Structure 1
Amino acid sequence: MMFCKLLWYDLKNGFRSTYRRYIAAAVAFCIMFVSAYIVVYSYNVGAKPEVPVQATLGNTLLYAFGGMDEYIPEPGNPFRLPAFWLLSYLLLAYITLYYPFNDLEEFGQNILIRSGGRQLWWLSKCVWNVASVVAFFLLAWAIFAVGCLVTGNSLSMELSPDIFSICQMVPDYQPPATLTPQILVLPLLVMAALNLFQMTLSLFIKPFYSYIVTAAILLISAYYVSPFCIGNYAMPLRSHMIMANGVGLNTGMLVSVIILVVAVIVGGLVFQRRDILKGEG
C-alpha cells in the first residue's frame, strides 16, 4: 500500500515536473512526421516507382526512428548522423534525467521516512522512469497515427520495399514485409534499460555527466555496428533481417533486460548506503 502511494506521488509529480519536455517531444514528433510525409511524396514524384510508396504508419516510423545503415569509413563516404533518431532519444534521456534527484534534494530524509525506506523510494523511481519511457513512445506512436489518418494513409505496419531507398539503405537481404517488433518493441526496451542505467550512474556522478555518457553511447552506437553497443538494437535498419552483420531481436531483448535488472539492483544497493545529505552526484 505504501509503495502504491509513493508510486502515485512519483507519477503525478514526475509528470508535473517534465510535462513541458513532453510538449517539446510532441512538437518534434509532428515535425518528424511532416518530414517523413514530404520525403515520401518527393520520392514518388522524383523516382516514379511502379508502386508509389505510401506514408503509412510503418513507413513513417521506420524513416523517423529507423536509425541508419552501417557506416563504413572510407574516402567519399562522410558520416551522416541519424538526426531524428539521435535527437529523439537524447530528448527522452533528458526527460527522465533530473526529477529523481531534484525530488531527493527538495524533500530529502522526510520523504524517505514517509515512504517506508530507501528501497521503496528507489523502486518507485525505477517504475516512474520506465513509465516515462512508455509514455514517450505512446506519444510518438499516437502523433504518427493521427498524422497517417489526417493525410489519408493507413495504420499498416507493412513496409514498402522502396522505403529502404528513402532511408538511404541497400538491404543485404530481401526486406521482410514488416519489422514491427524491431520498430515498436525493441527501441522501447532499449531506452528503458538505457534510462535506468543513466539514473543509476547518476548515483556515482552528477546527472549532467551521466547524460553525457548516454549521449556518447548513442553516438558510438551510430558509428559502430556492434552487439556491445546497445543503441544498435534501437535501430530497425540495423536488424540482422536486412543487414548481413546486423543485430538480432532476441539478443537485443536479452541484453536490454539484463541491463535493466542490473541497473535496478545496483542502484538500490548503492542508494541504500548513499549519504543523501551530500546532495546529488
Structure 2
Amino acid sequence: MLKYEWKNGWHMVRLRVLAGLGILIFIGNILVNELMPMNESMVSFGDCWLQLFLGKPEYIRTPDSEFELPVLWFLFYSYLLFLVCSYPADDLKGIGIQGILRCQNRQKWFLSKAVWCMEMVLLYFVAQFLIFMGSVQLYNLQNTGNQIFSSLRAFSATNMDMCTLYILPVLVGIVLCLLELILTLISGPVVSYIIMLTYLIVSVYVNRGWLLANHAMLLRNRVLIETGRKTMNGVAECAIVCLVIILAGITYIEKMDIISRREQG
C-alpha cells in the first residue's frame, strides 16, 4: 500500500507541489534579503533556516501591545497543511475505498496515509533547505558559517540544542499534518484546514503546553529565553502526540462508516 500511496498521492497533489515550490522560493528570497544587511553578506543556509523559525516572542497583552503574526512562518506551515489536507478524504471517495475492501484492513489504510503525510512533510522541509542553499549560492554570499548560530553560542547553547533547533520545526510539521489527517476524516478537508489555521494563530497568541506549534518558534525556546521551552521536552512531546494521534486514528477508522461517507461525498 505504501507504493500505491506514493504514486497516487503524488499524482493528486502534483499541482499543489509545483505551487509550493514557488512559495518556498519566495520565502527563501525574502529571508536572504533580510539577512544580508544584518550579517554583512555573510549568510549561510542555516541562518535562513533559523530566521524562518524565529517566530515571535511570547505575546503579553498590555494596553500598548500589538499582536503580530510571523508572516513567513505562518505562510510556510499553512501551505504545508494545504498541501496534504484533501488527499486522504479524496482517496476515500475514490479508488482508495476499493483498497480497503480488498485488503479488509482499515488500519493499514490509515497507517499508509500517515506515512504518506510524514513523507510529504520531510520532502517539504528538504525542499526549503535546498532552496536556502541555492539562494545563498545565487547571491554569491560568503558562506563562512552560521552567523545566528554563532550568536546563539553566547547563550550557552549545547550541540544537542543546536541539532534540535533543526529537528523541532520538522517534528511540529509532522504533528500538525497527522492531526489534520484525522480531522479530515472526521469533518472533511475544508473544516479541518480552517481548524488547523486557527490552531497556528492561537499558538502565536497564546504560549501554552498543549500548543505544540510554539516549539517551532526559536524566540520561545530556552536557548534564547530563560523561561522558554526546553528543546528535548519539545522532541518528547511531539513524539508522544504523534503516537496518540496514530492510535486515535486507527481506532476511529475501524468504527467509521466508509460506505455512507463515500455516498455523502
TM-score, with length taken from structure 2? 0.89
**Structure 1 residue 231 and structure 2 residue 231: aligned?**
no
> Residue deviations 1:117-168, cap 9 Å, x none?
2111111111101111111101110111111122233284452667x9xxxx
The separation in 1 between residues aligned to 2:150 and 2:41, in whole angstroms, is 8
> Residue deviations 1:73-100, cap 9 Å, x none?
2233311110000111011111111111
Paired residue for 1:137? 125
* 1:241-252 correspondence to structure 2 within 5 Å: 241-252=223-234
Amino acid at match of 2:167: V
Among 105, 118, 125, the residue aligned to 1:117 = 105
State the percentage of identical aligned residues.
Answer: 26
Amino acid at match of 1:121: W
The separation in 1 between residues aligned to 2:21 and 2:162, in whole angstroms, is 22
Could you tell which deviates more after superposition, 35-44 or 94-103?
A: 35-44
**Structure 1 residue 58 and structure 2 residue 39: aligned?**
no
Larger helix percent: 2
Q: How many residues align?
A: 260
Could you tell which deviates more after superposition, 105-114 or 9-18?
A: 105-114
Paired residue for 2:62? 74
1:202 aligned counterpart, secondary structure: helix
1:34 to 1:92, Cα distance in 2 relative to 1, 3 A: same
The separation in 1 between residues aligned to 2:165 and 2:198, in whole angstroms, is 22
* 1:96-175 correspondence to structure 2 within 5 Å: 96-107=84-95, 109-153=97-141, 154=143, 156-157=145-146, 159=148, 174=155
- Structure 1 residues without counterparts, runs of 5 or longer: 1-5, 45-51, 165-172
> Residue deviations 1:180-215, cap 9 Å, x none?
434421111111112111111223222221212211
- Structure 2 residues without counterparts, runs of 5 or longer: none
Tell me the CA shift for residue 235 of structure 1.
1.1
TM-score, with length taken from structure 1? 0.84
Among 79, 85, 91, the residue aligned to 1:91 = 79
**Structure 1 residue 17 and structure 2 residue 40: aligned?**
no
The separation in 2 between residues aligned to 1:42 and 1:134, in whole angstroms, is 31
The separation in 1 between residues aligned to 2:197 and 2:254, in whole angstroms, is 28
The separation in 1 between residues aligned to 2:157 and 2:234, in whole angstroms, is 19
